[in-house]
A = this chain, B = another copy of it.
Amino acid sequence: MIETPYLLFLGDAPDQLAAKVAQGIKDWRPENAVGQFRLPGCGADVGLKDLSLAEAQAAGAKTLVIGVANRGGYISAAWKAVLIEALEMGFDLASGLHNLLRDEGDLVAAAQTHGGTVHDVRVPTVWYPIANGEKRTGKRCLAVGTDCSVGKMYTALAMDAEMQKRGMNTSFRATGQTGILITGQGVPLDAVIADFMAGAVEYLTPNNDDDHWDHIEGQGSLFHVSYSGVTMALLHGGQPDALILAHEPTRNHMRGLPGYDLPSLEELRDTALPLARVSNPACQVVGVSVNTQHLSDDEALSYLAEVEARMGIPAVDPFRQGAARLVDALATL
C-alpha cells in the first residue's frame, strides 16, 4: 500500500498524453494528490497547483508519484536530482515505469539512509496463493473486452465513482500499474507468475459485505492471443457476478496483431459468459461499454442505440454519458 496523499511528478513530460498516470490520479482520486511538480519545459498540466517538494510536504504529501512516462527508457539526471531530494526530505517514491527505481543504486542508497520506501508497482510484492475457487461473499463486476485497451479500466473506475456518488458500498480493484497508482494498492497481474494469477485475483477481491461491489480492472482480451491467459485468470479468480462487454468500434484489427480480426460483441458474450459461470454459475452479462472517442456525437449515439437494440442490454459510453445506466443494471443481480 502506497501512502497518500501524493505529490504528482510530471517531470519534463513532452505532452499531456505522457502524463496519463498523473491525469488518472487527478481525475479519479483527486483527494490523493496535493499538487503537481513540473520541471522546466514540461508540456503537461493536470490542473493541480504547482508545488515545490517543501510546499507539498507542508501540505501533507507522503509520496512522490512518477505520473509520467520516461523518454528513452532511462531515468535522467534531471529526474534523479528531484527523486533523491525527495527521499532526503522523507518522501516515499512510487513508480510504474518499466525500468525499476530499485535498480538505481543512488535511489536505493538514499531511501535506506532516510528511511523511505521505493514502490515499483510493476513488481508484485506479495507471494500470492494458488486459487482455491471457494465462493466468496460480496459482489464483483468485471469488464471483458473485444480487444486490449478498449476502456475496461475506465469503465470500472466510472462505475465505482457512480456508486460512491450514490453512497453505495464499492471498491475499485486495480490489476495494472496505472490503477495501482491511482488507488495506492492492487495487483500487477501481468507480472504475476502463471500458476498464481487466479490466486492473485482471489487475494485482491476477498470476502466482503453482501451489498459490496468490487469493480475489478480488466486486462487483455479472451480474443487477444498475447494476453488471453491473463483475462482467463480474471474470469476464474474474480468470480464475477456481472460482466460488462467493452468495445472500441473503429479498430481494424486486434491491437498489435495485424492478422487478427476483432470478435463481435455477441462472440465475446457467448465466449466469456460460459467461462465465467465455471467459477460463478450466477454470472450475467449486464451491459456494454463502448469507447466512442473516434466517433462524432451523432455517430456515437446512433451506434450505441444500435448495439443496445441488438444486444438487449444497456449500451453506453461512460466517458460521454457517465456510468449510471451500467450501475442501474447491476441492481437486478
Contacts and interface: CB of A to CB of B under 8 A. Distances in A.
Interface in A139-178: none
Contact of A226 (B190, B199, B254): B199
Given A229-B236, A274-B271, A278-B225, A191 B191 contact: no
Nearest to A280: B225
Given A134-B259, A135-B259, A274-B271, A225 B191 contact: no
Contacts of A222: 232, 275
A229 B190 CA distance: 11
A310 to B, nearest CB: 20
A256 B260 CA distance: 36
Contacts of A190: 193-195
B233 A278 contact: no
A90 interface: no
Given A131-B225, A194-B229, A195-B230, 9 more contacts: A190-B193, A197-B229, A198-B227, A198-B229, A199-B226, A223-B278, A228-B275, A229-B233, A271-B274
Contacts of A232: 222, 228-229, 231-232
Contacts of A254: 133
Interface string A214-238: 0000000011011111111101110
Interface residues of A, number: 40
A132 interface: yes
A149 to B, nearest CB: 14
A195 B175 CA distance: 13
A257 interface: yes
A192 interface: yes
A191 B260 CA distance: 28
12 contacts: A132-B226, A133-B226, A133-B257, A133-B260, A192-B193, A194-B197, A198-B226, A198-B228, A199-B226, A222-B275, A229-B232, A271-B274
Contacts of A257: 132-133
Interface in A43-72: none
B195 A225 contact: no
A88 B229 CA distance: 43
A269 to B, nearest CB: 13
Contacts of A275: 222, 228, 271
Determine how many copies of this chain the complex contains.
Answer: 2
A237 B257 CA distance: 13
> Secondary structure at chain A's binding surface: helix, strand, loop or mixed?
helix
Contact of A230 (B133, B194, B235, B237): B194
Interface string A258-279: 0110000000000100110011
Nearest to A192: B194
A86 interface: no
A229 B229 contact: yes
Given A135-B259, A225-B237, A194 B191 contact: yes
A144 to B, nearest CB: 13
A189 interface: yes
Contacts of A279: 225
A130 interface: yes
A277 to B, nearest CB: 11
